[in-house]
Each structure stands twice: as structure tokens, then as C-alpha cells.
Amino acid sequence: MPLAAVVVGVALLAALATFGLLLLLRPPKKRVVTAPPTTVTPATAPTTAPGPTTTTPDGQVLTRTQLARALPGFIAFVEQHRDLKFKSTPAVVLDTVPTYLSAWHTYLRSDKPLLTHLNVVMTAFGLNPSNTDLVQAQQTWLGDGTVAFYDPGTKVLHVRTAPYTSYVKQTIVGMLTRALDDQWFSIGRLDPSKGLGEAQFGLASLVSGDQQRIGNTWLSTQPYDEQQAAQAEAADRTPNVSDPRQVPVSLARWLSSPDNAGPDLVQAVLDQGGRAGLDAAFRTPPGGSQQALDPTRYVGGEKPLVVPPPAPGATPTASGAFGQLLIQDAFTDKVDSDLLSQAMDGYRGDATVAWTSQGRSCARIRLASVDREATTVMAQAVTQWANRVKATFVIIADPTRPGQSLVEATVCHAGGGGGGSPSTTTPGPGGPPGTNPGGGPNI
């Protein structure tokens, strides 16, 4: 997913300092979009990138003619700094504000299956205590201040009719970068309706990081006062949402993290392998939030473990990897911080399944660690967490790694009511809960 600054614009991504979008990496669904009459056909692109100034003054309301005149320079800049050529002319549409917002909201609603699946697990772990509608929460968090976005499902870059500022120009450059990456690497190839979004985290981070890198590079060629104005506009367009009942804190962090992680991830890949290394990363992106948030793991060749899924306690409604980011959120303030840090250092993957039962959201998670010592630490962390939230857990043999163990925990939560403690639940298939009476888990 990811998956929150998202497509608001390159400068706004930095201003938000928060996730986005994994959720904006949608599969190329066969949605039919009829291009309105304002579809822009760029003139022949120059063979070199534009100079540090543009021909259209800041502040004028953007017109189709102005955008058509500017697009060749923007395209050339993106191609030069990405060191790739567009395979075909990108489709760029200039929308009126109502048309743009309608397309934007339609785009966000395509995340409903993913957010619906994720909500069951987040609620079970106590991360959505007010039982907030995550679809509406995502829209609230991202807001309606965006000025351009690229939809890999329709292959259309939507631009909003607005004053033609340096911020808008920078955002268009960033969205063209997304369009170019999509033509070469199909950035929407992961289906957000499956899983819990963790599989998309690495690709989302690469997409956002590349967008920010080239958008910021373009802005750096502009006069200093225009750079300042772009940053100020980014801040003005950032939604001001602080009520966790509108946007759960964990969802905001999850939505924002690919945007935050992206620049460092892309830079680490470029430092090691240059443009060829970045291309390779798009073909085989990081395997989840742990690798994206700690690029040294990814560039060092580390791969997440494949964890066999646990058996659900009822008909499952969602399954997939929950991911380090959200697991750490669930354990924070319930596990000693040093112990939690050690447990997350040893974490190498999970498999999670969720279901609903008697009005409660339930989840069962299997946590894999790098070795036996790390599994002991993880079990100690899970012990602290389980005692705080009345969850159950067992230690089981890892069927894929002889001599290794997995920690399997089960928790249910009713949701709503401002965040009461999760309720206990019988583990169902997989064996009874168990801890060592002596105080430490048996591995």
C-alpha cells in the first residue's frame, strides 16, 4: 500500500511528514474512462531538459494551452533525470474542480476492499478503538487539496484547474515520474483488494521516493522565492486532522510511511546500484515495511521469511502479512520499549488471518524471527502484550524451518466505545495458549 501524502504533491509529501500510498498503487483495473475535451496533447518534447525558468508566470489560472506548452519541457526533464524515455505519450487531463474531485474520490474508493480487510485486523489489535470507517478516514486524511494525481489503473494523469504556481508545476513533474515508472514497471500490478497492504509497502515507497526525488530536483532549479512559495502552498494544502476519531493514529502513520520512507530507500538503492539498481528494485521491490523503513536490510539482500498462515477461528474475512509497522503500533505502550525494539530487530515476517465473531473482530498472527534467540525475545514481548490486552498465545514449531519456532497469538476486540481492552478468545485450531509458569516463554 502504500497506504498519505500520496499524490498531493512532492512538496506536500515532505510537509506532511507522514504515509501514503501504498494505497495509491492500484492494479490496472479495466475501468473505462472517457477523456473529457480538455485532454492535453503535449507539443513535441525538446531533446534536453528545460532551463531553470518556465515560460508561464506563476499565479495565472492554468489553461489547456498553457499546460500543452509546458508539458514537453516537463516530460524532457523527467526523462533526463530518470534516465528513461516514455514508451508512449502520457495521457494528461486538465479537469475542472468538480470533475477533478469526482475522479479523485472515485480513485480513493477503489481502496475500499483493502481498507475493509485491514479494518478487521486493526480493530482486533485495538488500533481502531472508535470503530472509524477507514474508507472515510483515508479521504479525510488525504483531503481535497490535491492538485494532480496519476491513476495507474486508467493510465491518466489528472491535473486540477487552479492557479499555475511552482507547486502545481512541481507536482505535475512528480506525477509524470509516476507515469514513466508505470510504463516501465507497472506500478499498479499488486492488487490492493488482496491481503492487508504489506506486500505493497515496498513498491509504494519506491514510487513515492522517485516522485519526490525528481519533483524536488525540478523545484531546486527554480528561483529561491518560488521554492519558498511552493513549500508554503504545500503546507496550506495539507489537511489539518488531529482527531483520532476521524483518522486513527495508526492508519495515519500507515498511510504516511511510504512517503516518509521513500526518499531514503530510493537514495540507498541509487547509492549501491545507480539507475540500473533502481530499475531492478522496481522489478523486485522490498518485501514489506521492515525493508522499506530500514533500507540497509533491502540493499543488503535480506528477504522476509515466508510464514505459513494460521488457522482461523471462524470463516476468515481477511488474511496476509500485517507487517512490522502495524505490529509495532499494536505493541507500543504495552511492551517495554527496549524489549519491543529488540523484538522488532529480530522480526522477519508474519502471517495473519482475521474473522468476525459475535460482533467482535478477531485476528490470529504468526510471528517469525531470524533465529531461536530472536524468537525468545519475540515471545517475551508477546507475553507482555498478551497480559495487557488479555490475548492468548502459543509457541509452535515452524514447519518451514527445522529447529525453529513461531509465536502465534490470538486476540479479539469489540471496537467502538473509545478503546476498551480487547477481549479474550479461545485459540481455536492450533492448540491451547501457553506460557512458562516460571515467567518466561518456552521456545
Q: How far apart are CA 2 and CA 24, in angstroms?
A: 6
Mean pLDDT per 10-residue segment, the chain (443 residues): 41 40 35 44 49 48 96 98 98 97 94 92 95 94 95 96 96 98 88 80 96 98 96 90 91 95 98 98 95 96 93 94 97 97 97 94 97 98 96 96 97 62 37 33 40
Q: How far apart are CA 390 and CA 423, in angstroms?
A: 6
Q: How far apart are CA 157 and CA 88, in angstroms?
A: 13
The pTM for the full model equals 0.84
- Tell me, what's the pLDDT at 48? 43
Q: How far lies 330's CA from each of 35, 100, 251, 346, in Å?
A: 44, 37, 12, 17
Q: What is the CA radius of gyration of the chain?
A: 23
- Tell me, what's the pLDDT at 422? 41
Please name which of 420, 363, 418 lies closest in space to residue 388, comparing C-alpha atoms: 420
Say if residues 368 and 378 touch (Cβ distance below 8 Å): no
Q: How far apart are CA 223 and CA 220, in angstroms?
A: 8
SS3 content of the chain, % helix, strand, coil (to 5): 45, 15, 40
Grid coordinates representing 336? 517495554
Q: How far apart are CA 20 and CA 247, in angstroms?
A: 14
Pairing of strands 405-413, 360-369: antiparallel
Grid coordinates representing 219? 523545484
